[in-house]
Homo-oligomer: A and B are copies of this chain.
């Protein structure tokens, strides 16, 4: 079991939360007071992180929101801040990378050495050797896309492969073949609770990163009942927009904290 998975288990125990706070900063949605700051993205996210940390088991910055604004340095700062101030909470870099071995090595360096993320999301379309360079970082986590929460997720993931949809083959290979060092997790969208249940039945206690509650409308009760392990954990239930944009005034961090607390409690009601 990798350091990441151990940290995650400890975080589940110690925080009593399955909530992963997603950090998708969009400057056009920031309150006016931040508008002209050169480090607005960092500052916005830092305040969200500090306010929501008591109610979260992990943070998930989405790299596209930083890259579109030339804010890679602010992403580095943000992850360093989380490690410093909230060292018990792992950071998952949501990047959904997928490329051949030599290039994947570079992406692994980007995620783990440059950004110092504890885990990264990856895309399975290019197969196992596209995952291996991440797995070489033995202390890190690698979270593979399986069943995604968007409407087009069904285009490929629901194609029939030997009598069952493709995403189940991905889940089974992840559990039986690819998880050579206990580092893997899977992304399974909350918009499909029955599919969470099927994936859980295929992968044992493997951590599931579950986006799709909050702004995307997934059902919390059904999600938790479908995805929990015997220990009542096993899930990183992600909410991004519904938390970080809960308020739009200068008290946005307080609003985010309240939304995070309610979301955590809403999840815990069904564990």
Contact = CB atoms under 8 A, between A and B. Distances in A.
A169 to B, nearest CB: 6
B126 A64 contact: no
Nearest to A102: B24
A270 interface: no
Interface in A58-117: 62, 64-65, 67-68, 70, 72, 96-104, 106-107, 109-110, 113-114
B150 A130 contact: yes
B67 A124 contact: no
Interface residues of A, number: 51
Interface in A161-178: 161-162, 166, 169-170, 173
A155 B156 CA distance: 14
A159 interface: yes
Given A98-B96, A149-B100, A67 B110 contact: yes
A35 to B, nearest CB: 19
Contacts of A109: 68
Identical chains in the assembly: 2
Interface string A122-142: 011111111100000000000
Interface in A146-200: 148-157, 159-162, 166, 169-170, 173
B160 A148 contact: no
A65 to B, nearest CB: 5
Given A68-B107, A106-B68, A151 B129 contact: yes
A153 B166 contact: no
Contact of A24 (B24, B103, B130, B161): B103
A152 B127 contact: yes
Contacts of A155: 124, 126-128, 173
Contacts of A150: 100-101, 126-127, 129-130
A104 B70 CA distance: 16
A238 to B, nearest CB: 12
A114 to B, nearest CB: 6
13 contacts: A65-B106, A67-B72, A96-B98, A96-B99, A100-B148, A123-B123, A125-B156, A127-B151, A127-B156, A129-B151, A130-B150, A159-B162, A159-B169
